[in-house]
């Protein structure tokens, strides 16, 4: 996948994209990330990218030309339906795991980052296929949201994660939190690992994990369970036990 980011602050991306999984995905040729500064496309001799708002008012507005021209420069010539242009904005639809999965199917993603001063409305109206927000809180720009989305999308691309890193493959835990995990030592200053994990009984361990996952979900994210429907009698029993044990 080719990923293009249009940003007036290209240096912000150097750290996160040079570390860990994203760096390995780039080295493996699974993702190809390019940062473009719309300032380099400013027609103006001072490389101006913003100007005062028509009609008056405070603040500045991001000019159309640098963004229209920068987008044209990074858009590949391939099929239009294989490329998605995303403008990061508090006006956008909320980013979700589902959206990450959908975006992972494209051959090219182009992210347009702005900042507090806001885009000329003609940029928003014409350039993006969609606008995305990462949540209802105010940031200083679209750079961190772009990094969040690139991170979430990259790990959905086949080959970026090791097979055993993928929680998505385990339908047994879909829509609920993950089960609690333990490693050595068996006894940490008197805090013992639950005995069932040493039983060697895999069915029993699975059942325990499912129940503890449900308990954690009830405890920390009960909002996730409004949609939860036990599929079988056995699952219903685990769910009832989870609620009972939590109430104790």
Per CB under 6 A, residues contacting ligand 9D3 are 88-90, 114-116, 118, 133-135, 137-142, 145
Selected catalytic residue, list 16, 53, 64, 90: 90
Hey, which residues does 191 pair with through a beta bridge?
Answer: 188
- Of residues 206, 5, 199, 186, the one with CA closest to residue 113: 5
At its nearest, how many Å lie between ligand 9D3 and the CB of residue 98?
17
Q: How far is CA 166 from CA 86, 101, 169, 171, in A?
A: 26, 13, 6, 11
At its nearest, how many Å lie between ligand 9D3 and the CB of residue 62?
10
Selected catalytic residue, list 136, 164, 170, 248: 170
At its nearest, how many Å lie between ligand 9D3 and the CB of residue 50?
13
Decide if 117 is catalytic: yes
Judged by CB, which is closer to ligand 9D3: 24, or 90?
90
Lookup result for tokens 């795991």? 97
Neighbours of 122 (CB within 10 A): 12
At its nearest, how many Å lie between ligand 9D3 and the CB of residue 46?
24
Selected catalytic residue, list 2, 10, 65, 117: 117
Selected catalytic residue, list 64, 155, 207, 241: 155
- Of residues 48, 52, 131, 61, the one with CA closest to residue 91: 131
Alpha helices, H only, 127-220: 143-154, 202-220
Judged by CB, which is closer to ligand 9D3: 145, or 210?
145
In 134-245, the DSSP E strands lie at: 187-188, 191-192
Decide if 170 is catalytic: yes
Judged by CB, which is closer to ligand 9D3: 140, or 169?
140
Enumerate long-range contacts of 178-184, CB under 8 Å, 24 or more apart. Answer: 178/213, 178/216, 179/209, 179/210, 179/212, 179/213, 179/216, 180/212, 180/213, 180/216
Judged by CB, which is closer to ligand 9D3: 13, or 239?
13
Decide if 158 is catalytic: no
Judged by CB, which is closer to ligand 9D3: 147, or 214?
147
Joined tokens for residue 111: 């992210």
Decide if 32 is catalytic: no
At its nearest, how many Å lie between ligand 9D3 and the CB of residue 128?
12
Give me the active site residues, please.
90, 117, 155, 170
């Amino acid at each position: 996948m080719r990923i293009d980011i249009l940003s007036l602050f290209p240096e912000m991306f150097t750290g996160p994209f040079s570390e860990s999984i994203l760096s390995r995905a780039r080295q493996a040729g699974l993702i190809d990330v390019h940062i473009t500064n719309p300032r380099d496309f400013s027609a103006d001799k001072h490389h101006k990218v913003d100007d005062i708002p028509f009609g008056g008012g405070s603040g500045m507005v991001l000019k159309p030309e640098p963004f229209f021209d920068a987008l044209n420069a990074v858009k590949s010539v391939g099929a239009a339906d294989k490329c998605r242009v995303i403008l990061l904005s508090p006006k956008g639809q909320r980013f979700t795991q589902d959206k990450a999965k959908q975006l992972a199917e494209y051959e090219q993603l182009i992210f347009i980052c702005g900042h507090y001063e806001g885009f000329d409305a003609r940029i928003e109206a014409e350039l993006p296929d969609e606008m995305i927000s990462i949540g209802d809180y105010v940031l200083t720009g679209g750079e961190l949201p772009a990094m969040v989305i690139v991170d979430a999308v990259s790990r959905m691309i086949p080959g970026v994660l090791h097979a055993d890193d993928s929680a998505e493959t385990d339908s047994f835990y879909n829509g609920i939190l993950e089960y609690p995990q333990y490693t050595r030592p068996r006894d940490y200053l008197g805090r013992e690992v639950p005995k069932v994990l040493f039983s060697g009984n895999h069915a029993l361990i699975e059942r325990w994990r499912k129940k503890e996952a449900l308990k954690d979900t009830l405890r920390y994210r009960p909002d996730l369970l409004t949609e939860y429907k036990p599929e079988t009698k056995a699952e219903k029993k685990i769910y009832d036990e989870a609620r009972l044990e939590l109430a104790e």
